Amino acid sequence: MKTKLTLGVALAALSAGAASAEQITVFGPWLGPDQENAEAVLADFAEKSGHDVRYVGSDSFEQQIMVDAEAGSAPNVAVFPQPGLAADMARRGFLTPLRDGTAEWINENYAAGQSWVDLGTYAGPDGEEDLYGFFYKVDVKSLVWYVPENFEDAGYEVPETMEELKALTDQIVADGETPWCIGLGSGGATGWPATDWVEDMMLRTQPPEVYDQWVTNEIPFDDPAVVGAIEEFGYFARNDDYVAGGSGAVASTDFRDAPKGLFDSPPQCYLHRQASFIPAFFPEGTVVGEDADFFYLPAYADKDLGTPVLGAGTVWAITNENEAAHELIAYLQTPEAHEIWMARKGFLTPHKGVNLETFGDPTLRKMNDILLGATTFRFDGSDLMPGGVGAGSFWTGMVDYAGGKDAAEVAGAIQDSWDSLK
């Protein structure tokens, strides 16, 4: 097959070693432990290829990569936390398309492969679309957290469909308890947790192509499909019986404090939807897998939309082409490139060929199982929207909605803000 031959040729080049050694610079957003993890992966590539590989990390990556590209001093490979910036740089001619066969390889070897191809495909300066980005290191957001002991004491079971999740919500209320803890507070970023809810609900009520049209404004924000997804969030967040503190507390509760109600005795709530990072805000000493656990935010059984997963991830792109840069992208297709970081911390992958026993953390392996079970993966929608919307009117609109405003009215105001950018 073309894909295997393309990858095989590139990997053969790695074994050629120092005879064709080049210097290659990789620039990314990672500092601290994540930088050490990335450097461990790149050290293996350097050993196999003979290239002189240097990683530079920055907490101002998004600004610096554009400055470097415009100055003609871009690194060979850049690691983008968001595909939107990569797409903008491709449009301006700052990225090099990946080698032929890469898209076919992704489709064959990544779970929900076409999703990853779509997320890495951008229009170039001539308007023609090509594959510019390779996703490596992923995060999962479609998770619901709970305390197993609380479930066991109450006789509850983990729901496998959205219908069952709503039935469980009603059952908890019928038992005289409160199902959910929800908090949207985040200082100047207040409202963002609700955007994740809406994005997850879009993927559970609409086909992925509608989600894509939404994040690019091909359909307006006040389209009935979007209003419906907002109201799906409201089903949980705007019912006083469903939320700890009542619906009026949703907007004012800090997202970092929201999950603490799971651990009270008696519990203030039984369920909390949040991404994979939230255990950092659990009570000290909490052991995930024992004291707390999670399950996949389920899809509707009756909508036939598969098992969509919402998340984020880093996309690697060539910003200053040399042969070593293409070899690095080929190296990232090997199981070893994933397993080195898997054995450490904070790494998930859609690569179907990795040895899952390599995970050093059983929690990460369980999250990765959710990722591998995805039929569709979509990137956090607010991160793909213009900043004034995705990190502006969408946030504030969700606070207004949580506070009682009509979903269609809120969606219309967000669309007005988008129109004002044009």
Query: Residue 53 has which token pair?
Result: 């590989």
Per this entry, what is the length of the chain?
A: 422
pLDDT at 3: 37
Contact 225, 214 (CB under 8 A): yes
196 forms bridges with which residues in the sheet?
none
Handedness of CA 387, 388, 392, 397 (dihedral sign): negative
Q: Which one-letter amino acid corresponds to residue 251?
A: A
Structure tokens at 261: 């109600």
pLDDT at 422: 77
pLDDT tens per residue across all 422 residues of the chain? 333 434 554 555 555 544 578 999 999 999 999 999 999 999 999 999 999 999 999 999 999 999 999 999 999 999 999 899 999 999 999 999 999 999 999 999 999 999 999 999 999 999 999 999 999 999 999 999 999 999 999 999 999 999 999 999 999 999 999 999 999 999 999 999 999 999 999 999 999 999 999 999 999 999 999 999 999 999 999 999 999 999 999 999 999 999 999 999 999 999 999 999 999 999 999 999 999 999 999 999 999 999 999 999 999 999 999 999 999 999 999 999 999 999 999 999 999 999 999 998 999 999 999 999 999 999 999 999 999 999 999 999 999 999 999 999 999 999 999 999 97
Question: Count of CB atoms within 10 A of residue 140's CB?
Answer: 23
Domains of the chain: 2-140+312-379 (3.40.190.10), 143-308+385-419 (3.40.190.10)
Predicted pLDDT of residue 121: 97
Q: Rounded to whole angstroms, what are the CA distances from 181 to 102, 144, 212, 364?
A: 43, 11, 29, 23
End-to-end CA distance of the chain: 45
Dist CA 305 CA 185 (whole Å): 31
pLDDT, residue 8, reads 56
- What's the confidence (pLDDT) of residue 165? 98
Q: Is the dihedral of CA 287, 338, 136, 319 positive or negative?
A: positive
Residues 160-176 as b or e (16 or more Cβ within 10 Å = b): eebeebbebbebbeeee
The answer to whether the CB of 143 falls within 8 A of the CB of 294 is yes
Q: 308 φ, ψ to 5°?
A: -75, 145
CB 204 within 8 A of CB 305: yes
Q: Which helix (DSSP H) or strand (DSSP E) does residue 79 occupy?
A: strand 77-80
pLDDT of residue 12: 57
Q: Are 130 and 358 in contact (CB under 8 A)?
A: no
DSSP state of 375: S
8 Å CB contact between 270 and 169: no
The half-sphere exposure of 5 on its side-chain side, counting CA atoms within 13 A, is 3
Angle, helix 335-342 to helix 32-49, in steps of 10 degrees = 150
Nearest alpha-carbon partner for 160 in 366, 274, 270, 301: 301
Q: Are strands 143-146 and 272-273 parallel, antiparallel or unpaired?
A: antiparallel
CA-wise closest residue to 24 among 320, 333, 392, 274: 320
Backbone dihedral region for residue 407 (phi beyond 0: left; psi -120 to 50: alpha; all else: beta): alpha
Helix axes 61-70, 83-91, angle to 10 degrees: 10
| Distance of alpha carbon 298 from alpha carbon 293, whole angstroms | 15
List residues bridging with 53 in a β-sheet. Answer: 24
Pairing of strands 121-123, 129-131: antiparallel
Distances (CA, A) of 123 to 76, 87, 93, 118, 350: 20, 7, 10, 11, 24
